[in-house]
Amino acid sequence: MTTKIPEVSSLVQEAAAAFTSQYGGQPSVAVAAPGRVNIIGEHTDYNDGFVFPMALPMVTVIVGRKTESGLCRVKTLTDKADKPFEVEFPAPSSSKPLQPSKPSWANYIKGVVTCFPGVVSGFDAVVTSSVPLGGGLSSSAALEVATYTFLEALTGTKAKSLKDKALVCQKAEHDFASVPCGIMDQFISTMGKKGNALLIDCRSLESNLVPLSDPNVTFVIINSNVRHTLSGTEYPTRRRQCHDAAHTLGKTSLRDATLQDLEKHKGSLSEEVYHRARHAISEIQRTEEAVEVLKKGDYTAFGKMMTDSHNSLRDDYEVSCPELDQLVTIATECPGVYGSRMTGGGFGGCTVTLVKRENVDDLIHHTQECYTGKATFYVCQPAEGAQVLSL
Ligand code: ADP
Ligand code: MG
């Protein structure tokens, strides 16, 4: 079934009504920050490579009001978070720094409140979201970036730059949620622009918008609705293997290596590490090339690179799973599909497919007929990054 993506205004209304019944009175501030999908460039961030995400029309909304109570009170409207859904914690001060605790969902907010450069005297807030939690579309970064944007609007202290803002949100996730994430999610949620994807150089932290607003094509994100437990344990192993491969090749990171370098050192690498490095090196190169062909409007070449990316993640990096492979195979059989790949860390979560708009229904129907699991569909064009909304 295609998921109807709620309007941002209806999320704001829902949150404002909940605010009134929870705290009384009206909120004075409303903000939104989007989830994201990575179109190409997977497992390249920790290899100093390129990633190419776009912001989604699914967003996290926060409405709220400043208080002088010294207390931060927050309620989330999603029942997918861990209980309790309401929390209360003191506004941080140098003598009483906040610590991560239960419920875990509030740690993303506490982390940003702690790392925020302005003075937070207290607030009441309600959070709601159309980004699926834990589905690989980065509800966590959407929550962090929404929190930062909320605090900016509440205190008048603006981040020096969007890059600084994204880095603070990343630090919050590292320190308070203990997730050693890269920079992609927070960058795109902060810097996304409607009708554009964002090419991010994970080494220099430079980023460039790339127009992607042709009404004749669209992305369809398909949630496999599976998550295999391997995802937690395999990630550090892949990171270490890439690090070891770079070391053997005499490079700082695999960003500096070519496939020729890799072939030269093949004898000094285990079969497995060789394949891991081959994915990382080829994917970094593929991402740069894909953006170039996209700029020329060559969707056929771009789509082929998306599918090549999937095959490399499946065969060399071994982070796919039968469900994701099945979804990609089904998609590539459909008319009007340019390319399809798993997106995110792997072992479950979503695929992303570039398709002619006129063939979206064919893709959805064919997937519903053939996929052995239960898929959810989101038809998405690149959307806007974090913003303050009018109430
Ligand atoms: P992803 O970022 O792919 O959605 P993560 O595991 O990184 O998955 O982050 C999901 C977690 O973020 C949730 O389990 C919850 O703790 C927190 N979270 C995200 N959005 C919300 C929300 N709207 N309300 C409460 N918690 C949220
Ligand atoms: Mg996340």
Global pTM reads: 0.97
Q: Which two tokens stand for residue 63?
A: 């409405």
What pLDDT, on the 0 to 100 scale, is given for residue 255?
98
173 CA closest ligand 1 atom index? 7
For ligand 1, atom 6, the nearest C-alpha belongs to: 134
Q: Is the CB of 78 under 6 A from ligand 1?
A: yes
State the distance from the centre of ligand 1 to the C-alpha of 81, rounded, in angstroms: 7
Q: Is the CB of 56 under 6 A from ligand 1?
A: no
What pLDDT, on the 0 to 100 scale, is given for residue 1?
61
Q: Is the CB of 127 under 6 A from ligand 1?
A: yes
State the distance from the centre of ligand 2 to the C-alpha of 181, rounded, in angstroms: 8
CA 391 from centre of chain:
27
Q: Is the CB of 135 under 6 A from ligand 1?
A: yes
State the distance from the centre of ligand 1 to the C-alpha of 298, rounded, in angstroms: 35
Is 316 a known active-site residue? no
What pLDDT, on the 0 to 100 scale, is given for residue 144?
98
What pLDDT, on the 0 to 100 scale, is given for residue 256?
98
Q: Is the CB of 138 under 6 A from ligand 1?
A: yes
What pLDDT, on the 0 to 100 scale, is given for residue 92?
87
Taking CB atoms within 8 Å and a gap of at least 24, the contacts of 168-173 are: 168/112, 168/115, 168/116, 168/117, 169/112, 169/115, 169/141, 169/144, 169/145, 171/111, 171/115, 172/108, 172/111, 172/112, 172/114, 172/115, 172/144, 173/108, 173/111, 173/140, 173/141, 173/144
What pLDDT, on the 0 to 100 scale, is given for residue 229?
80
136 CA closest ligand 1 atom index? 3
What pLDDT, on the 0 to 100 scale, is given for residue 16?
98
Q: Of the ligands numbered here, which is closest to the C-alpha atom of 105?
A: 1
Q: Are 124 and 73 contacting, i.e. CB atoms less than 8 angstroms apart?
A: yes
For ligand 1, atom 11, the nearest C-alpha belongs to: 140
Q: Is the CB of 143 under 6 A from ligand 1?
A: yes
Looking only at the bridges linking them, the beta strands covering 29-40 and 387-389 are: antiparallel
What pLDDT, on the 0 to 100 scale, is given for residue 231?
66
Pocket test for ligand 1, best of 101, 107, 133, 137 (most atoms within 8 A of CB): 133
Q: What is the mean pLDDT of each run of 10 residues along the chain (391 residues)?
A: 87 98 98 98 97 98 96 97 97 85 98 96 97 92 98 97 98 93 96 98 98 97 90 87 98 98 98 98 98 98 98 98 98 98 95 98 97 96 97 88
* Active-site choice (185, 298, 308, 362): 185
132 CA closest ligand 1 atom index? 4
What residue spans of the chain are helical by DSSP H?
A: 8-23, 105-115, 139-155, 162-177, 184-191, 230-248, 259-264, 271-295, 299-315, 322-332, 360-370
Q: Are 75 and 127 contacting, i.e. CB atoms less than 8 angstroms apart?
A: yes
For ligand 1, atom 17, the nearest C-alpha belongs to: 105
State the distance from the centre of ligand 1 to the C-alpha of 129, rounded, in angstroms: 10
What residue spans of 26-122 are helical by DSSP H?
A: 105-115
